[in-house]
Amino acid sequence: MKKKALLLLCMCSSLFMANAQEASAKFEQLNKDFLTASSPKVLIAAHRGAHLDAPENSLKGFRQTIDMGIDIIELDVRCTRDGQLVVIHDKTVNRTTNGKGAVDSFTFDEIRKLKLTFNGKPTDLQIPTLKEALLLAKGKILVDLDIKSASCIEKIMQEVKETGTENTCFFFVGEAQHVSMLKQRDPKFRTLLRTNSEKEAREALAAVRSEAVHIDPSHHTEEVVTFIKQHGARVWINALDDVDKKAAGGNPAAFEEVLAKGANIIQTDQPALLKKYLEETKRR
């Protein structure tokens, strides 16, 4: 019996090691793809996690995003009244929890007593901390940090460093000077730079280097996409709202509206549908 138990233990240990090595190799490849602007692989960013099947910005939704084989979790960071970092989109807790009030009016202990809602009904899930989200994602999936409380940026940088997740997350910023500030603070910090026009994109990339650049329909052209890639950045565009609705309504080819000109990170509320379409069209 002891020999059988020992054999079973060895087999389980070997399986665990093999799975860990496979996960590590996948994450390493994901990082290579993210940092290779010319990579033919289109990366998928799940907007607020897999929130069609779990509360948005919840650890459950983030786990499901990982299990789906998606590349990036987009999440939102705010501060409580006592300066703790929590993951929630809105200024108030009204829409996504069973409570009411501004996020920054709650202490951390108070906000953790609230329950996230899903389809209007309370769940047993709490608002996550940024630390919980980063540690869950670490070594498994990339994280886009959408910072809703600018006053918390110092704490966010500290959290990223303390959790050792510099190669797991990137900062969504609105100006080239913010890219410079982050890079000066730590060259390992990665950024997604938001641009609002072709002129802004060209001027920003002449001044700084960002790992990815967010564009929108106002300057979604092949020329802009090519220019950004030539400057070593991936091109991020949203499929949110109209494109996602068309795809979910039975027309997955609607994703071509954001794919046809070469953008290679797509943020979506329909990550499973987009993944299936990309696989069918040989973009993954």
Is 269 within a domain? yes
Is 272 within a domain? yes
Tell me the mean pLDDT per 10 residues along the chain, length 284. Answer: 59 56 92 96 98 97 98 98 98 98 98 97 97 98 96 96 98 97 97 98 97 98 98 98 98 98 98 98 95
pLDDT digits (tens, 9 = 90+) for 28-68: 999 999 999 999 999 999 999 999 999 999 999 999 999 99
What pLDDT score was predicted for residue 21? 82
Angle between helices 130-137 and 59-67 (to 10 degrees): 10
Place of tokens 């967010």: 214
What pLDDT score was predicted for residue 156? 98
Is 33 within a domain? no
Residue 24: other Cβ atoms inside 10 A: 12
Q: Are 186 and 166 in contact (CB under 8 A)?
A: yes
| CATH classification of the domain holding 65 | 3.20.20.190
Residue 236 phi/psi, 5-degree rounding, is -100, 135
Is 24 within a domain? no
Domain that holds residue 262: 40-280
The Cα 268–Cα 123 span in angstroms is 24
Closest alpha carbon to 263 in 233, 231, 218: 233
What pLDDT score was predicted for residue 22? 84
What pLDDT score was predicted for residue 19? 65
Distances from the Cα of 87 to the Cα of 32, 57, 76, 270, angstroms: 27, 6, 5, 20
Q: Are 55 and 116 in contact (CB under 8 A)?
A: yes
When divided into structural domains, the chain yields a total of 1
